[in-house]
């Protein structure tokens, strides 16, 4: 078992260096500035390279909005975001996104779906054929490369979505509740798989969920967000050893983290 | 139509042929014995003999060719223009803003009511039939193209944008294929409508064509002949539909995988009622 030290503990030595992702005072107001809905209020967040950061919070806490701003899909109302040294001003080619539903194109085969970023960015199918096949091997779908998405199960579809998000070799992987639509057992399995994938890569992952255990299981740091207006309530380093196993989810340390995060969401504990 | 493939056995096929023969026999018997006048309901035998006469003398071939040509020409022109204008409306907000009021007005107008005017304007030749077929197939195509080009899932659009896709790429790689189910639904409605439109225009005044022929037969009380034309028209409609279905399976091939009950699948019946 490789024990990976969470990046947070090393940030003191890196403190002089620019963080890989830096958000400063990011706010988003839908509607007019005066009486619009505040989706995101004054979010500051730094994320290091190769870090796995999980944002957890109920619906309406602005976690998806933050991700959309980071991906350049929505402009922030105020504040600024830097990714790898450049300010985010619009969609960029070094970000991979995984949505809650797999968002596959039904007229493309599994292989062609994974090829989508290559096609869009005109990188050349031929040159990337082996790379894409390797990705399919990585997510365990090699035998299915010529199938169409609807011939696959939900979990398999989502794995195609993950392979596609990696196809253009982005530095950052943004995952918006990617396993939210899966059944609990498939979900656990996918979390283990994701951890394995991430550990073997050099990607920085920003993962969004409303499941507290999922957040604790995956994260180097959990960013707890609360709604109305969406803001960061706490940033919590998760000091559990890697590689994490499903057994660890019943350990007292794990439970302590979960309880601590839950205190932010009131006595009802209602998330969605 | 419910799935009946499990009872489609050889035995049942033979039985269904027997059923047809039985119906025809009862029909023949009722007309002959029951004394129903031939000009009200001709017996099957007189319909078949009219059919035989029509083909043996070669009269039918020319009229079939004229009608089919008019249907196909009008259909192609109407669908082509409908698709183009639909795409223009879907892609350009200004085109949509300025044209939409007129389209809504035309949409609620019964298109067959225009046919007498079209015949007046374009004469008794083929042009008036082609214009009618084009006009009547134009609207379902245009409406379904607009709906279809806006049917792309928002996440799919965001995904492409996040990868740096251009508007052109989003159109070609996403919006166009997403529109196909709707476009084919429109094409299916339009093919039936263009046949109806052509025949109606031929009724109102034509030199050749199956509608004209049937009109003449009615005047001459050759009701057996009229029925034989009806059968031919039904077969033409069936052939056009089957051809389209064949093309559809080639191009919109992922239909068989698509389990979601999309709006496109429900719309044809509603739309065809509107389109007339």
Side-chain half-sphere exposure of A100, counting CA atoms within 13 A: 10
Q: Are A95 and B162 an interchain contact pair (Cβ–Cβ within 8 Å)?
A: yes
Best A107, A123, A146, A147 member to test B by mutation, with max B CBs in 10 Å, is A107
Of B153, B164, B177, the CB nearest to A121: B164
pLDDT of residue A15: 46
Best A86, A101, A103 member to test B by mutation, with max B CBs in 10 Å, is A103
Chain A residues with CB under 8 Å of B257 CB are: 106, 148-151
Q: What is the average pLDDT score of chain B?
A: 89
Radius of gyration, alpha carbons of chain B:
23
pLDDT in tens, B23-81: 999 999 988 888 888 888 899 999 999 999 999 999 999 999 999 999 999 999 999 99
Nearest residue of A to residue B250 by CA position?
A107
Q: B107 pLDDT band (50/70/90 cuts)?
A: confident
- Quick one: average pLDDT of B155-180? 94
Q: How many CB pairs under 8 A join A and B?
A: 59
Nearest residue of A to residue B251 by CA position?
A107
Q: Are B254 and A107 an interchain contact pair (Cβ–Cβ within 8 Å)?
A: yes
pLDDT of residue B273: 43
| Contact assessment for residue B241 and residue B75, using Cβ atoms and an 8 Å cutoff | no
Radius of gyration, alpha carbons of chain A:
18
Residue B170 makes CB contacts below 8 A (sequence gap 6+) with B152, B157, B160, B161
Where in chain B are the domains? 55-257
| Contact assessment for residue A157 and residue A149, using Cβ atoms and an 8 Å cutoff | yes
What contacts 24+ positions apart, CB below 8 Å, involve B160-167?
Answer: B160/A116, B160/A120, B161/A73, B161/A91, B162/A71, B162/A72, B162/A73, B162/A91, B162/A95, B162/A97, B163/A91, B163/A93, B163/A116, B163/A117, B163/A120, B163/A121, B163/A168, B164/A91, B164/A92, B164/A93, B164/A120, B164/A121, B165/A120
- Quick one: average pLDDT of B202-214? 94
Chain A nearest C-alpha distance from B3 (Å): 21
Nearest residue of A to residue B166 by CA position?
A120
pLDDT of residue A17: 66
- Quick one: average pLDDT of B70-95? 95
pLDDT in tens, B6-20: 888 889 999 999 999
A91 contacts chain B (CB < 8 A):
yes
Tell me, which fold does domain B55-257 have in CATH?
MetI-like fold (1.10.3720)
- Quick one: average pLDDT of B121-130? 95
pLDDT of residue B116: 94
Q: Are A150 and B160 an interchain contact pair (Cβ–Cβ within 8 Å)?
A: no
Chain A residues with CB under 8 Å of B184 CB are: none
Q: Does domain A21-94+170-265 have CATH number 3.40.50.300?
A: yes
Of A71, A103, A117, the CB nearest to B153: A103
Of A71, A72, A148, the CB nearest to B254: A148
- Does B3 score more than 60 pLDDT? yes
Distance between CA A121 and CA B184 in Å, rounded? 30
Q: Are A150 and B259 an interchain contact pair (Cβ–Cβ within 8 Å)?
A: yes
pLDDT of residue A5: 45
Between the alpha carbon of residue B85 and those of residues A51, A167, B96, the distances in Å are 50, 37, 10
3-class DSSP state of A87: strand
Q: Are B162 and A99 an interchain contact pair (Cβ–Cβ within 8 Å)?
A: no
Where in chain A are the domains? 21-94+170-265, 106-168
- Does B265 score more than 50 pLDDT? no
Q: Are B174 and A103 an interchain contact pair (Cβ–Cβ within 8 Å)?
A: no
Of B165, B257, B258, the CB nearest to A120: B165
Chain A residues with CB under 8 Å of B259 CB are: 150
**Per-residue confidence in pLDDT tens, chain A, 272 aa:** 444 444 444 444 444 567 899 999 999 998 887 778 888 989 999 999 999 999 998 888 888 899 999 999 999 999 999 998 889 988 888 899 999 888 999 999 999 999 999 999 999 999 999 999 999 998 889 999 999 998 999 889 999 999 999 999 999 999 999 988 888 888 898 899 899 989 988 899 999 998 999 999 999 999 999 888 888 999 999 999 988 999 999 999 999 999 999 998 875 445 54
- Does B191 score more than 50 pLDDT? yes
Nearest residue of B to residue A88 by CA position?
B162
Smallest Cα–Cα separation from B52: which of B231, B238, B237? Answer: B231
Q: B258 pLDDT band (50/70/90 cuts)?
A: low
pLDDT of residue B257: 59
Least confident of A262-271, B11-20, B104-113, B231-240: A262-271
Q: What is the ipTM of this complex?
A: 0.82
Best B157, B164, B165, B184 member to test A by mutation, with max A CBs in 10 Å, is B164
Residues of B with CB under 8 A from a CB of A: 153, 155-156, 158-165, 169, 173-174, 177, 253-254, 257-259
Q: Phi-psi category of B85—alpha, beta or left, where left has phi over 0 and alpha has psi -120 to 50?
A: alpha
- Does B149 score more than 60 pLDDT? yes
- pTM for this entry: 0.81
Pairing of β A204-209 and β A172-176: parallel
């Amino acid at each position: 078992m490789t024990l990976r030290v969470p990046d947070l503990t090393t940030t003191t030595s890196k403190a002089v260096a620019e963080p890989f992702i830096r958000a400063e005072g990011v706010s988003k107001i839908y509607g007019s500035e005066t009486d619009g809905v505040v989706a995101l209020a004054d979010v500051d967040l730094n994320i290091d390279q190769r870090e796995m950061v999980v944002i957890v919070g109920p619906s309406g806490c602005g976690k998806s909005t933050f991700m959309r701003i980071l991906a350049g899909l929505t402009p922030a109302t105020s504040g600024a975001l830097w990714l790898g040294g450049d300010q985010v001003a619009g969609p960029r080619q070094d970000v991979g996104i995984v949505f809650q539903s797999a968002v596959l194109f039904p007229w493309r085969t599994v292989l062609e779906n994974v090829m989508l970023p290559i096609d869009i960015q005109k990188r050349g199918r031929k040159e990337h054929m082996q790379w894409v096949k390797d990705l399919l091997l990585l997510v365990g779908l090699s035998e299915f490369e010529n199938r169409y998405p609807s011939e696959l199960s939900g979990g398999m579809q989502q794995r195609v979505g993950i392979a596609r998000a990696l196809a253009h070799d982005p530095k950052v992987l943004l995952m918006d509740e990617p396993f939210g639509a899966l059944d609990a057992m498939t979900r656990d399995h996918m979390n283990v798989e994701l951890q394995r994938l991430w550990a073997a890569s050099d990607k920085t992952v920003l993962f969004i969920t409303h499941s507290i255990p999922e957040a604790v299981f995956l994260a180097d740091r959990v960013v707890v967000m609360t709604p109305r207006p969406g803001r960061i309530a706490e940033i919590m380093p998760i000091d559990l050893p890697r590689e994490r196993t499903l057994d660890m989810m019943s350990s007292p340390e794990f439970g302590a983290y979960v309880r601590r995060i839950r205190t932010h969401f009131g006595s009802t504990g209602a998330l969605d | 139509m419910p799935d009946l493939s499990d009872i489609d056995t050889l035995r049942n096929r033979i039985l269904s042929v027997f059923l047809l023969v039985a119906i025809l026999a009862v029909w023949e018997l009722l007309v002959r014995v029951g004394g129903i006048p031939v000009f009200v309901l001709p017996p099957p035998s007189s319909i078949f003999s009219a059919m035989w006469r029509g083909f043996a003398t070669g009269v039918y071939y020319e009229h079939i060719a004229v009608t089919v040509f008019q249907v196909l020409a009008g259909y192609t022109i109407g669908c082509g223009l409908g698709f183009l204008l639909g795409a223009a409306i879907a892609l350009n907000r200004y085109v949509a803003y300025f044209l939409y009021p007129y389209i809504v007005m035309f949409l609620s107008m019964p298109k067959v009511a225009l046919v007498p005017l079209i015949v007046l304007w374009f004469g008794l030749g083929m042009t008036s039939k082609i214009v009618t077929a084009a006009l009547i197939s134009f609207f379902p195509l245009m409406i379904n193209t607009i709906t279809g080009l806006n049917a792309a899932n928002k996440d799919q659009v965001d995904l492409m944008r996040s990868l740096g896709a251009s508007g052109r790429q989003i159109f070609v790689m996403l919006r166009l294929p997403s529109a196909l189910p709707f476009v084919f639904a429109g094409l299916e409605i339009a093919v039936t409508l263009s046949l109806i439109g052509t025949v109606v225009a031929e009724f109102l005044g034509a030199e050749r064509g199956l509608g004209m022929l049937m009109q003449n037969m009615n005047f001459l009380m050759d009701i057996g002949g009229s029925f034989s034309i009806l059968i031919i028209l039904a077969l033409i409609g069936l052939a056009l539909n089957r051809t389209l279905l064949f093309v559809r399976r080639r191009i919109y091939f992922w239909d068989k995988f698509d389990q979601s009950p999309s709006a496109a699948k429900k719309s044809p019946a509603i739309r065809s009622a509107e389109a007339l």
